[in-house]
């Protein structure tokens, strides 16, 4: 029989801590499949295992759950120090910028830097609610059915239900783009427009997410948008997420996103404004800003290039209505 797999969680923030509880319990309950000691790499604290290479070197499964801006640096530190046959799964919502201005998926950065397979887990999973064990769902995107089954066993519980799909790019792109739409939902709330307007932001945002996948990932499957990683994550983030909350305050207070992130999030980090900027670099380089007016307006408002009240004009003039 195969040895139980050793798991290392790379990250210890809001989501990393909540998912560690699930992984830790599953490792204890499934000793044939997983080693009962689960390591966790903690960035700055003196708790747990502070040395990245030390925590990851024996792992068979690496669970990446850090803010997206740190992935490249973390992978570069791990390179050349991992066990043969190790696999990864990313829970990170965001993109990386390729040389020349294109978008790279975080799973691509992990795969290409570490030369290991990398699956994706995304879903409607506000960490604090998962930590309370409130029922929710998530989607694992992976091509290999065998790896999919192992990862499902690692993550699924009675209250955290998993669907495995093979359309991994769409799973990951949904997780990144919904954070931009959530910023727009926060603007609509800050401007005091009410639930109908917010529903329109969510709908137009979903249309742009689908178009983005059709243009840049032509193999995407429409059914993936109906999984937890798609419409469900979009809805929960536009109502209960940090991106929405800080963006509402941005409109109401006139303070910068960076100031509010420090004031309101106690060391946690927003992904939406940075993702909007990364997507904009690509759209601009391809002269495609006009085809994604919601994403473009959200980026410009975050950067102070246009006032937040112009968001309504963007909605009214959206090409969906022409
Ligand atoms: N919080 C949530 O509800 C959910 C978050 N996610 C995604 O999970 C990822 C991680 O998010 P959270 O756990 O919420 O993080 P967080 O917002 O709590 O991030 C702060 C963490 O970043 C770490 N950090 C700071 N500087 C660093 C560096 N230079 N290198 C490495 N780490 C550094 C800190 O140690 C801290 O723990 C993000 O992509 C997020 O979109 C996904 C689902 C739910
Ligand atoms: O991704 C999330 C829920 O699935 C969390 O969203 P926020 O980062 O906006 O809190």
Mutate which of 68, 126, 240, 276 for ligand 2? The one with the most ligand atoms within 8 Å of its CB, which is 126
Distance, in Å, from the CA atom of 94 to the CA atom of 56, rounded to the nearest integer, reads 23
**pLDDT tens digit sequence for 186-218:** 999 999 999 999 999 999 999 999 999 999 999
**pLDDT tens digit sequence for 106-151:** 999 999 999 999 999 999 999 999 999 999 999 999 999 999 999 9
Q: Percentage of the chain surpassing pLDDT 90? A: 95
Question: Given this model, what pLDDT does residue 93 score?
Answer: 98
> Is residue 178 among the annotated active site residues?
yes
Q: Percentage of the chain surpassing pLDDT 70? A: 98
Pairing of strands 61-64, 87-90: parallel
Of ligand 1's listed atoms, the one at least distance from the Cα of 73 is: 30
Tell me what the mean pLDDT of segment 218-230 comes to: 98
- Is the minimum distance from the CB of 93 to ligand 1 under 6 angstroms? yes
* Tokens, residue 110: 């992990």
- 280-286 long-range contacts (CB < 8 A, ≥24 apart) are 281/97, 281/101, 282/97, 282/101, 282/102, 282/103, 284/101, 285/100, 285/101, 285/102
11 marked among binding-site residues:
yes
Let me know the angle formed at the C-alpha of 237 by 234 and 241, rounded to the nearest 5 degrees.
170
| Mutual angle of helices 168-190 and 242-253, in 10-degree steps | 30
Q: What is the pTM of this model?
A: 0.97
No. of helices (H) and no. of strands (E), the chain = 14, 9
* Catalytic position from the list 5, 6, 168, 178: 178
Residue 275 Cα to ligand 2 midpoint, Å, equals 13
Taking 70 as the threshold, does the pLDDT of residue 47 lie above it?
no
Residue 288 Cα to ligand 1 midpoint, Å, equals 30
Using CA of residue 3, residue 92, residue 9, residue 223, what is the dihedral sign? negative
102 marked among binding-site residues:
no
34 marked among binding-site residues:
no
Distance, in Å, from the CA atom of 288 to the CA atom of 96, rounded to the nearest integer, reads 19
Taking 80 as the threshold, does the pLDDT of residue 276 lie above it?
yes
**pLDDT tens digit sequence for 148-157:** 999 999 999 9
Residue 13 Cα to ligand 1 midpoint, Å, equals 5
**pLDDT tens digit sequence for 299-308:** 999 999 999 9
């Amino acid at each position: 029989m195969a040895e139980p797999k050793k798991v290392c969680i790379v990250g210890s923030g809001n989501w990393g801590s909540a998912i560690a509880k699930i992984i830790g319990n599953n490792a204890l309950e499934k000793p044939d499949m997983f080693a009962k000691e689960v390591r966790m790499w903690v960035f700055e604290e003196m708790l747990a295992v502070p040395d990245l290479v030390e925590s990851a070197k024996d792992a068979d499964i690496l669970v990446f759950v850090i803010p997206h801006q740190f992935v490249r640096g973390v992978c570069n530190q791990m390179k050349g120090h991992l066990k043969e046959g190790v696999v990864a799964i990313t829970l990170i919502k965001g993109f990386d910028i390729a040389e020349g201005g294109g978008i790279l998926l975080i799973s691509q950065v992990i795969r290409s830097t570490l030369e290991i397979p990398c699956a994706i887990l995304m879903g409607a999973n506000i960490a604090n609610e998962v930590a309370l064990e409130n029922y929710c769902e998530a989607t694992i995107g992976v091509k290999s059915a065998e790896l999919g089954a192992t990862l499902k066993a690692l993550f699924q519980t009675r209250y955290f239900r998993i669907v495995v799909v093979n359309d991994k790019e769409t799973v990951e792109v949904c997780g990144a783009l919904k954070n931009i739409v959530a910023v727009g939902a926060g603007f609509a709330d800050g401007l005091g427009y009410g639930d109908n307007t917010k529903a329109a932001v969510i709908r137009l945002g979903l249309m742009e997410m689908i178009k983005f996948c059709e243009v840049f990932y032509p193999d995407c499957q429409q059914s993936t948008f109906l999984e937890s990683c798609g419409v469900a994550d979009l809805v929960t983030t536009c109502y209960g997420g940090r991106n929405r909350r800080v963006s509402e305050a941005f409109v109401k207070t006139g303070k910068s996103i960076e100031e509010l992130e420090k004031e309101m999030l106690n060391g946690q980090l927003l992904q939406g404004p940075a993702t909007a900027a990364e997507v904009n670099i690509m759209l601009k380089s391809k002269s495609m800003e006009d085809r994604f007016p919601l994403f473009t307006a959200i980026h410009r408002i975050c950067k102070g290039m246009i006032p937040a009240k112009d968001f309504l004009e963007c909605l009214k003039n959206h090409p969906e209505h022409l």
